[in-house]
Structure formats: structure tokens, C-alpha cells
Amino acid sequence: MTPEEREQLIDSLIDGEIDEADFLRIEAELSVDPEVRALYYNRLKLDLLLQREASGSVDDSGSDVAQAVAPSAAIPPVASVNILQRRLTGIFAVLAATVLGFVAWSVWNPDSSRLGSPAGLAGKLEPTAAGFAILQGQSDAVWEGDPLATGSLVPSGPLRLLSGVAQIELFSGVRMVIEGDAQFVVQSAMLVQLDRGRARAQVPEAARGFRVQTRHGDLIDLGTEFAIDAGDEAARVEVLTGEVELHGQGAARQRVLEGAAWQLSDAGVSERSDSDSLQVLGPDAFERQLSSQQVDQRRRWQQRVASMREDDRLIAWYQTQQTSADGRQLPNLAQSDSQSAGAAAIVACQPSSDRWGQAGGALDLSRTGSRIRVDVPGEFGSLTMMCWVKIYSLDRLYNSLFLTDGHELQEPHWQIMNDGRLFFSVKKFDGAEGKRRRPDKYNFYSPPFWDASLSGQWIMLATTYDVQARRVSHYFNGEEIGSEAIPADYLVPRVTIGPASIGNWSEPMYRTDPQFVVRNLNGSLDEFVLYSSALSGSEIAELYRLGNPAR
């Protein structure tokens, strides 16, 4: 064999374009000749580098997770500062990072100078989130700027609640109800700056010393419950139980006992002439009010579901609170003529609270092996998949939403990558007969939607597969987060499902090898819906609006 021939064979091998006879020839050469192997390694390196060079910022379907997040990734240690080295090393650091399962956004930390030290790396291993409090509940709340979701971290910086009522729970244990119109800043778990507005706080013993700062002075809690109304002229204070200490401007200090009505003003600390109650709802009363509102909302949603069940496009609608008498099955609520999917079987799931706060209304899939088994016969054109899930963490490489058993031709797979991207694909080619270079499917990824602050919150995810428009779109909480045309080569006009799992992946039935990969969703599922049509963006937004408990 001439050197030229050898190189050609190696190129064909790496291209996946080699036939069996040539494969055996080059394998023989590789086996006996270290120089041929050296050439092979060099060509593999060239291939790897060319692929990276060509993909640039484009995420081709064969590229790994790392590549997609690399451009925004932290810059790990490099001795010589060099853009190229940075970028390449970044890819590999992030590759490692994504494998380790920590959320992509925690790597986007501009403070990367310490990454070189082991301590810096250890720091990066822990996901971080920012805030001192959770927005526990809200009623008719209107926020200046973007709305805040119930259950989310309260952002740092000034907040303006224009109207309505919100309750925040600080990490110190303080529960605080704030009524609009109010302007405030959560400075720490022990300090809230209240520039304007009315609030009532319940302070547990562990948070004694909690402080509310107003323009006219500070209130320091000495244990229990108080109300405060910060106005332009003065901050009026009412102690409901226990006592507080008021610190006016300068040296003025005053202990105020239960039942007393005082105020902070530019004149210092003084007893109020009016002894009117401030009439702010307490945390307990507010929670009761919210929970009765949720019961109402849940009932209204169920009424809507009852009317939507007859939609002809429905293949399946499973609600985890609607189990069969023995609690092992979820009936298919879809009542369209065309549906033929039966009841779903619950495997190894634990009951958990649903998104309306009702105990036992949802299914927890976090125990290894948990899944909800379905069988969906038939062929479909387009598809919509929608679910309400509460995810604790994305700690598997693939976190399952809805996967057919194995992955056969024409079958869809819907899951979440551990960097927080939604993943959808329909298998187009059979691996055995396809060209080796060509992937057997095209993967449609959304941009990452996940960060650690979403952990434990109910979210709605949806993906549509539109054969007519040749497009796959991903939705997070009713909003489109990504949409991509289906490459002509990879369009599958008729999709089949068959036996499948919600929240996990099952390898083909009758497989006897007990080993399995862990892909179950580390979280809970409340609702799963499948349509034989691609719902429009506005239909999905409407499903979210009606089904969202945290309004």
C-alpha cells in the first residue's frame, strides 16, 4: 500500500465511507505499523478541529452540549492569554461542567479569575441563585416592570407593587405581607427597606432582630408580629403581639409593646394621635385567602378541561389527580372520536402535591425507575406535547418528559438536556441502513430555559411538531422560547408512538438485560396532554393562562 493510498483509506474511514474490504486492509496496517497509527491520530485531530472550525457558533446536530453553551461560558485557566486557547479550553471546561450536571447559567459568572485554583473550581461546582426571599403568594398583584412569578426568588433591587397583595418569605423565616401601592427593597434576609406602602410581618424567634428600614427611621423586631405603614410624612407602626424597638433619626429610641400605636417621623419617635388599626392582612389570613382562591381556580380549570376534552385533535389527556379506584391508573380524559390511547399505568411513582397545592394531586417521579406507561396506537401528522411539571434538578444527562420505548423509526423523543435545553426529535433513518456519517435524526433544541431558581416550581412545557409548516417550536410557561425549521431530509410526515413512558425512558419490551440508564425526571408531573396537531402559539398561551395556578 502506498502512503497516498493509506491516507485515502484513513480519510474514508473517518468519513464513515469505507467498505468492508478497505476497512480490513487499513485495520491490518493500523495493527502492525505505529506510523500508520500516528497518521490516524493526526487525521482524527484534524477532523475534530475542522468540525469545530466549521460549526463555529452554529450548533449542528452532531455537536455536543458543550459547544452550544461555550460562547457564553466562563474562561478557565490558561497560562498565556490567547483568544483561541480561551475558546477551546472553554469548550472543554464546559463540557466537563455540563456533565457534572450543574446549571449552565451558574458558569456565566464574570468572576472567572479564580477558576484556576481548586477552591475556585469547587466554588463553581455549586449552583448559585441570587436572592434573600421567595415570593410566597400574590393576589391581584401588579408589579412595575415584569410580573413576578409566585414561587420565584424575589429579585434584589427596588421593587414596586402597584396594586394587589403579595407575600414574601425571607430566608430568615420572616413572613411579610405587602400591600400595593408599595415600594421596597429586600436588602437581606434580616433587612427590608420599605420606602412606601403598608406591610405586616410575622417574625419567628430565630429571626429576632429583623429590621424594617423606612425613610424616617428603623423598626427592629424583638419577636412576633407588627404592621407598618410607610408614608411620606411618617411611618406608622402597630405592634400586634410581642414588642419592637423604633430607632428614629439621631439617637431617639423607643420600645413599643403590644397594642401600642407609634410613629417614626422627622420629629423622631412619637405616640400616634390616632390609634386606628392599620388593617393590614396578616400572613396566616392571607394564606387562607390564597388557598381558597386556588381551590376556586382549580375548579374553574377542571370546568375548562371538561369542555376541552372533546377537542377532536386530542390524543390523550392525563391528569394525575384523576386516578382509577385502585390508584394505579390514569384514565385518558380525551373524548375525541379519533383518540384510541387507553389508561396510563403508574409505575413506582409517589403521590405529591399538585400545582394547586392539593395533597396527592400529582405524581412524584424522582424515585429511580418511576414512570407512567402509555400505549398510543396509530399514526399522526403533527403533534403537540404539553405538560405541567415541577422539577427538582436536571441531574441526568437526559431528563425524560415523553419517550417512546427504544427509539424506532418515526418515533418522537421529548426530554430536557442537563444544561436546561428542551430536546425534541423524531427518528428519521435506521442506523443500520443509513450512511454512517449521517445522524439518524435531527435534534431540535430550545435555548436553555432552566436555572436553579426554578427548582421546585410548577412550570408548563410544550413542544409542537408541525408537519405542514415544517417547524418545531418549544414553549416555556406559554411563551415560545425557540422555533426551528425541519430540514427537508429529516421531515417525518407520519409519526408513530406506540408503547411509551411519561417521565422516563423504557428500552424495548421483552429486553431481559436488567441494566438501564437513569433518565427519569427528578420531579413531579401534574398533567400531560397530547394533540395530533400543532397548536398555535396563542392556543398554548391560553392553555397556560387558564391552567396556571400562580396568577
Binding site for other proteins (CB under 8 A): 7-8, 11-18, 20, 23, 27, 30-31, 34, 37, 40-55, 58, 60-65, 76, 84-85, 88-89, 92-93, 95-101, 118-119, 121-122, 125, 397, 431-432, 435-439, 489
Q: Kindly tell me which of 121 and 191 has the beta carbon lying closer to other proteins.
A: 121
Rounded least distance, CB 420 to other proteins, Å: 15
- Residue at grid coordinates 401528522: 381
Torsion of CA 283, 288, 289, 292, to 10 degrees: 160
Distance CA 149, CA 465 (A): 28
Question: Based on CB atoms, which residue is closest to other proteins, 38 or 129?
Answer: 38
Torsion over CA of 239, 151, 546 and 303, rounded to 10 degrees?
A: -70
DSSP string, 438-452: S-SEEEEEPPP---G
Cα 300 from Cα 367, distance rounded (Å): 32
Q: Of 52 and 211, which CB lies nearer to other proteins in the complex structure?
A: 52
Of 123 and 231, nearer to other proteins (C-beta) is: 123
Contact call for residues 455 and 102 (beta carbons, < 8 A): no
Q: Strands (DSSP E) along 296-370, which ranges? A: 314-319, 329-330, 344-347, 350-352, 362-364
The DSSP result for 17-85, as a single string, is ---HHHHHHHHHHHHH-HHHHHHHHHHHHHHHHHHHHHHTT---TTS-HHHHHGGGS-----SS--HHH
Q: How far from each other are the two terminal CA atoms of the chain, in whole angstroms? A: 73
Please, which residue, 30 or 481, has the CB nearer to other proteins? 30
Distance from the Cα of residue 14 to its chain's centroid: 38
Least distance between other proteins and beta carbon 543 (Å):
33
Q: Which is nearer to other proteins, 177 or 472 (CB)?
A: 472
Closest CB 350 distance from other proteins, rounded Å:
24
Q: Exposed, middle or buried: residue 542 (CB in 10 Å: 0-12, 13-18, 19+)?
A: middle
Cβ 383 to other proteins, closest distance in Å? 23
- Which CB sits closer to other proteins, 45 or 545? 45
Question: What minimum distance in Å lies between the beta carbon of 13 and other proteins?
Answer: 5
Query: Least distance from C-beta 470 to other proteins, angstroms?
Result: 17
Output the smallest distance, CB 503 to other proteins, in A.
19
